[in-house]
A and B are shown apart, each in its own frame.
Chain A
């Protein structure tokens, strides 16, 4: 039905133009997702659903090609470090927004400056700390220079080798300064970008319609002339919709049970790509039970990640042996190197050597309402593993996500489960937020040597030297055990047999590159 009606599809574009003009001629297709959109305006969001629309509607200075981890030019021809605190970007010539306005360095500066100035409570301006004045909370004086229309120079507050990667995230999307207000968000349906697609219709919580942007001149060439994104509140109708062919792709988030059920069904294929989702157990170090390092090390010695992956997640996840997932520079399986396979005798020795009386009472915490229905299975599995060793006596408690956040910070659990998706594809994004002064989860772990090493690795421009430091930090985590890695998730989509290009875009960035995907007949 979509194919036959596409030609007569109307609806006014956000740039005031109606349909047409697109070079892309591929058949329209429908994506179903449970990721909600907070805002299409890049200054108002910090979530998967919004960022994925923005990656397709806007250009950033840099972009991460599918399957790669290092950024290449997008709106910029190149961005290079002059020194660890200075980056110069050269824009491509002839850049235009979908409404025909020229995109210049002034738009780049405007985009970042307004993001910081608006500091929307749902936004991600916090990621731009390196160019923010900590006192005024505005763009730091002289942080961005635009000597000409195609040159942007960034002066960072401190040496930061991850900033280049930050320039590939949706938070740095380039907006039209003649359209977007400087001090408030723009209405979602009016956003203008320069990416491979333009937003033709946006019904909050229902659907977004994207059409190929004929003014786009970059490498991300759109295959389809029109794409419909349908938003689901619940995975159950999404599963039915993909199974019955009402949507062409279901991406984020079906449960492991649903995925296994769809595996092998005719007409659809379950496609698994590399992911960067990280699930881990955090020790609350203010609690007496786990203050002793030996107790934490004994848990690390006992956890059977293979069993968790197999029994709690039907084999849909990969056991994690480091705080940094595989594929990142400097990654090493430090927990595997230090603890090897699960071993009760070794755990017993660790506790005996430290003079810890057994069994140790432990309270495990999880939430059933934020990390999917299988979190309870994981908590139960880990509890059983610890109890069966005879070294621990665990009880498992749960709370709804909202209450859970308060409880784990207050110390209601000795060991609690959390999950993480990276903002940028860099090992540091798995280190600094977790192990600097208690991390964002306030577990009271603090190690001055770790803090110092984090500063150094962020400033280090030599890749090998930096990777060494990242390796050392992972070893320190395995030794101090402020947390225990559990598993890494995959990036999974279910697609109709007619879809092409889905497999290629499923990578650890979790960017769903609409432009790569096409539908045949």
Chain B
């Protein structure tokens, strides 16, 4: 789409329509990949206990003996009517899985984003401001290391360091908090506030610290590099040169002219990072036994639970697509140069 060729509403309309084929492709790919992978829900559950005839009986009961095309069309039909069905391995409505576990993933990723921005933006600006200095080099190395280190490694290091201090190292809350706080929004942090239970709120907040830091560090590496490069480019801009020529002190030039403009692309990148964040969340959640969708996805993948995996992947896809769309809209609004 060429710049300046259409209006924003039309662009949004096109993007919304594109979501449908995107989701269909993803559903189809997930469906095929799960069937191509060895095993099935029955062999994963009781393959080491029953003979082949008994296993076949169970497959038939689940409809797994039907031709693939029939299963595929059946599944598409269900999704088209927004019926995601039940998990095979533990008989839960998939909508319940998303509702009950989505809140934990949401607060984890939002917390991680906050930490990534808090760490990434100042360090990126610092590195760009002092290009090729020792501070720049150290910051760049820090950015590369945090981006390259897998969350399960970083998380384990945190756990080993912090566990002896009595800090919680797993789950989203203590067992008693989970028992006492009534789920209203299914976002535990908010539910503790609704319940007016400040002790529980602090408990949940404390449980967020390590996982959010782990995932946030991973993301901060991206922001450090991005902000640094943008600042360097901004500093070469004509308007910066003009400001300097007018005799404005360097610190004002950087703070008022360069910094702000260097941060505009960060908004776009936040949208692009949603997919990375969700994939990082899967690993982070498993490291901290976090009851989010990433943990559920891993569990159901291990159980070869076709219905559950398809449901969760579809939900993730919708989230990524919707966030990307929102970011595009926000970018267009805040940057008048962007046209569609």
Query: Which residues of A approach B to under 8 Å, CB–CB?
Result: 1-2, 5-6, 8-11, 30, 36-39, 44, 46-47, 119-122, 126, 185, 200-201, 203-207, 209, 228, 230, 232-234, 236-238, 240-241, 243-246, 370, 399-403, 405-406, 409, 418-420, 433, 439-440, 442
Q: Are B163 and A5 in contact (CB under 8 A)?
A: no
Q: Are B89 and A201 in contact (CB under 8 A)?
A: no
Nearest A residue (CB) for B61 = A121
CA distance A241 to B176 in the complex (A): 16
CA distance A232 to B290 in the complex (A): 9
- Which stretch (B38-46, B69-77, B215-223, B328-336) binds chain A? B38-46
Query: Which residues of B approach A to under 8 Å, CB–CB?
Result: 37-52, 54, 58-59, 61-62, 88-92, 100-101, 156, 159-160, 163-164, 166, 168-171, 174-176, 178-180, 182, 286-289, 291, 295-296, 298-299, 304
Q: Are B45 and A47 in contact (CB under 8 A)?
A: yes
Contact A206-B90, Cβ < 8 Å, known A38-B45, A402-B43: no
Q: Are B287 and A237 in contact (CB under 8 A)?
A: yes
Contact A121-B58, Cβ < 8 Å, known A209-B175, A237-B288: yes
Q: Are B175 and A2 in contact (CB under 8 A)?
A: yes
B179 proximity list for chain A (CB < 8 A): 9-11, 200-201, 207, 209, 228
B44 proximity list for chain A (CB < 8 A): 401-402
B176 proximity list for chain A (CB < 8 A): 1-2, 5-6, 9, 228
Known: A38-B90, A232-B289. 17 other contacts (CB 8 A): A2-B175, A10-B179, A36-B299, A37-B90, A122-B91, A200-B179, A203-B100, A205-B295, A207-B178, A230-B171, A233-B286, A233-B298, A240-B159, A244-B164, A245-B166, A406-B39, A440-B54
Q: Are A8 and B180 in contact (CB under 8 A)?
A: yes
Contact A246-B89, Cβ < 8 Å, known A400-B38, A402-B39: no
CA distance A47 to B303 in the complex (A): 13
B288 proximity list for chain A (CB < 8 A): 237
Q: Are B174 and A1 in contact (CB under 8 A)?
A: yes
Contact A246-B289, Cβ < 8 Å, known A39-B90, A126-B54: no
Shortest beta-carbon distance from B35 to chain A in Å: 12
Shortest beta-carbon distance from A79 to chain B in Å: 25
CA distance A29 to B289 in the complex (A): 19
CA distance A243 to B40 in the complex (A): 36
Q: Are B48 and A419 in contact (CB under 8 A)?
A: yes
Q: Are A228 and B180 in contact (CB under 8 A)?
A: no
CA distance A236 to B288 in the complex (A): 9
Q: Are A233 and B90 in contact (CB under 8 A)?
A: no
A-B contact pairs, 7 of them (CB 8 A): A1-B174, A36-B299, A38-B91, A206-B178, A228-B176, A233-B298, A240-B163
Q: Are B50 and A440 in contact (CB under 8 A)?
A: yes
Q: Are A241 and B39 in contact (CB under 8 A)?
A: no
Q: Are A405 and B47 in contact (CB under 8 A)?
A: yes
Nearest A residue (CB) for B168 = A246
Q: Are A2 and B50 in contact (CB under 8 A)?
A: no
Q: Are B296 and A205 in contact (CB under 8 A)?
A: yes
Q: Are B38 and A402 in contact (CB under 8 A)?
A: yes
Q: Are A122 and B45 in contact (CB under 8 A)?
A: yes
B299 proximity list for chain A (CB < 8 A): 36, 205, 233
CA distance A241 to B47 in the complex (A): 31
Shortest beta-carbon distance from A4 to chain B in Å: 9
A243 proximity list for chain B (CB < 8 A): 163
Q: Which 4 A-B pairs have the closest CB atoms?
A: A402-B39, A403-B38, A228-B175, A244-B163
Q: Are A409 and B175 in contact (CB under 8 A)?
A: no
B62 proximity list for chain A (CB < 8 A): 121
B91 proximity list for chain A (CB < 8 A): 38-39, 44, 120, 122, 185
Shortest beta-carbon distance from A509 to chain B in Å: 17
Instruction: Identify which of A6, A185, A401 gathers the most chain B CB atoms within 10 Å of its CB.
Output: A401
CA distance A244 to B52 in the complex (A): 44
CA distance A119 to B42 in the complex (A): 13
CA distance A244 to B174 in the complex (A): 14
Shortest beta-carbon distance from A6 to chain B in Å: 7
A200 proximity list for chain B (CB < 8 A): 179
Q: Are A401 and B175 in contact (CB under 8 A)?
A: no
B40 proximity list for chain A (CB < 8 A): 402
